[in-house]
Amino acid sequence: MNIDSISDSYQFLKLNLDNRILTLSIDRPKKLNALDLTLLQELDDATSNIRQLKDFPLRGLIFTGSGEKAFIAGADIGQMSKMSPLEAEHFAVLGQKVSLLIEDLPFPVIAAVNGFALGGGCEMALSADFIFATRNAVFGQPEVKLGLIPGFGGTQRLAKVVGRNRAKEIIFSGRNLKVEEALEIGLVLKIFEDKESMMNESRATLELMSKNSPLAIAKAKKVMNRGNDLTISNGLELESEQFSQLFASQDMKEGTGAFLEKRQAQFSGK
């Protein structure tokens, strides 16, 4: 799989590649980018293909929503209302698969949230490494208002990001959080006045990171993501294993060599 074979002919996704940074926009603005089955299948296809790319042709992903009103206003309520328990299980498992694919991409991912990030939208944002948001962003897990619970990872990831009891309060109340509160509790990393400045800063952040060794970033991300589910001793064991593997890489030779020779490192990701 190479970068040119990533399809850009989706019904509900827009992909834009610029200087090794991919912007993936959910493009169903009339329904506030609500995730129906077709959209989730497209996200599965796109993220699976991105995941298979070799040799770091991509250095970062900006995950966002088309239009000014919403990142993603949740899973499609009309479609869910007609699902059998078995269909609902498939739907949840597919969304969880997509969230894991995004979470484990071997480069930094920013969820750039403009407007509503509710239910499945908040859950998809939680699968990114960082959430940037505009002043009008609104977060929440309103599923219990519909007689449901979060099903794309929210019961697990929200608790890990903001703490279990705070996550319970958010999920049991189903209330909306303004962006300032989302920042205060560590859900959002940075707030921007408008979408344009958020997108510019997302790109600048990823370009800054892309000057570093992509191999080292991929390993740091892997160790930190996996470490989240491990005991401290197992996490440390994984850390020293991945740390030592880098000593067989060209990137490590280049990075340390460039420092000693007082020049800028040029990393290959090998």
- What is the contact surface with ligand HXC in residues (CB under 6 A)? 31-32, 34, 73-78, 91-92, 95, 116, 118-120, 142-143, 146, 148, 150-152
- Out of 68, 87, 89, 143, the active site residue is 143
Question: Is 207 noted as a catalytic residue in this protein?
Answer: no
- Out of 42, 87, 89, 123, the active site residue is 123
Kindly tell me which of 58 and 171 has the beta carbon lying closer to ligand HXC.
171
Kindly tell me which of 20 and 69 has the beta carbon lying closer to ligand HXC.
69
Kindly tell me which of 3 and 94 has the beta carbon lying closer to ligand HXC.
94
Q: How far is the CB of 143 from ligand HXC (least distance, A)?
A: 5
Kindly tell me which of 140 and 255 has the beta carbon lying closer to ligand HXC.
140
Q: How far is the CB of 14 from ligand HXC (least distance, A)?
A: 18
Q: How far is the CB of 226 from ligand HXC (least distance, A)?
A: 24
Q: How far is the CB of 33 from ligand HXC (least distance, A)?
A: 8
Question: Is 193 noted as a catalytic residue in this protein?
Answer: no
SS in 3 state form for the chain? CCHHHCCCCCCCEEEEEECCEEEEEECCHHHCCCECHHHHHHHHHHHHHHHCCCCCCCCEEEEEECCCCEEECCECHHHHCCCCHHHHHHHHHHHHHHHHHHHCCCCCEEEEECCEEECHHHHHHHCCCEEEEECCCEEECHHHHHCCCCCCCHHHHHHHHHCHHHHHHHHHHCCCEEHHHHHHCCCCCEEECCHHHHHHHHHHHHHHHCCCCHHHHHHHHHHHHHHCCCCHHHHHHHHHHHHHHHHHCHHHHHHHHHHHCCCCCCCCCC
Which positions are catalytic? 123, 143
